[in-house]
Amino acid sequence: MSQDGAGGEAEDGARTLRVKMVLLGSSGVGKSSLAARFVQGECRGIQPTVGCAYHTHVVRVNGASLRFEIWDTAGQEKYHSVTPLYYRGAHAALVVYDISKRESFTRAQFWLRELEQQYIPDSTVVWLVGNKTDLEQSRQVSLQEGQSLAEDRGLGFVETSALSGDHVNQLLRTVAYRVHELTWDQRSLSEWQELHAADAQNRGFFGFSPSCCNVGP
């Protein structure tokens, strides 16, 4: 499946559909680096997220063109109260932890409980992501622990390295396929509109001002 970060039209003229995806997890687990890998194919010069960061990226799957609206939420406790505004109505959610920090794994379970109050099973694609496999020598959370938690909650699971790119593209492709499978019959994906993108840039999503959101291409 090809990916393209530019443009809103599929090559065959088909509609481009909006997919809202949110990244959740503690500060420092690599959410912004994963988002940069999704969109730019690299993760150099990443700064801590303030409030949230917004990016878009097109993924083409099964003849459909899906433009992912990627909401990278800040992991700091002071932003916790506004985070639900970003993941309500999401078609996909990635709950990320750092395999070298057990506290982040514990925190991921908190985010999963929070998320379960907002999403409808079998209508939102949720993945548990153990990031920073490049820190294998400092691992504090085993692969089996991550797999077990995901299986217990009925989630997808993968370990990634945003630094090296290991399994990052595969993750986004798999999520895109699953979103397409879940939403195709219900036709619940709306068409992408450039006016929507401009509105997100000018006012921020859910009425937030641009100062809370870093908007990417």
- List the domain boundaries for the chain: 3-215
64-68, 72-76, 77-81, 137-141: range with lowest mean pLDDT: 77-81
Contact 26, 79 (CB under 8 A): no
Question: What are the CA-CA distances from residue 195 to residues 129, 201, 205 (Å)?
Answer: 32, 10, 13
Domain 3-215, what fold?
Rossmann fold (3.40.50)
Listing DSSP states for 157-192 in one string gives EEE-BTTTTBTHHHHHHHHHHHHHHHHHTTT-PPBP
Structure-token pair, residue 66:
């899906």
Q: Is the pTM of this model over 0.95?
A: no
Contact 179, 93 (CB under 8 A): no
Helix (H), strand (E) at residue 60? strand 52-61
The pairs formed by 191-194 with CB atoms below 8 angstroms and a separation of 24 or more are 191/15, 191/16, 191/17, 191/18, 192/8, 192/15, 192/16, 192/17, 192/18, 192/67, 194/8
Residue 70 has pLDDT above 50, yes or no: yes
Of 93, 195, 97, 215, the C-alpha closest to 145 is: 97
What are the phi and psi torsion angles at 27 (to 5°)?
-65, 135
DSSP code at position 39: H
Structure-token pair, residue 133:
């496999």
Average pLDDT, the chain: 76
pLDDT band at 197 (very low <50, low <70, confident <90, very high): very low
Please write the tens of the pLDDT for every residue from 88-123: 788 999 999 999 999 999 999 988 988 887 766 677
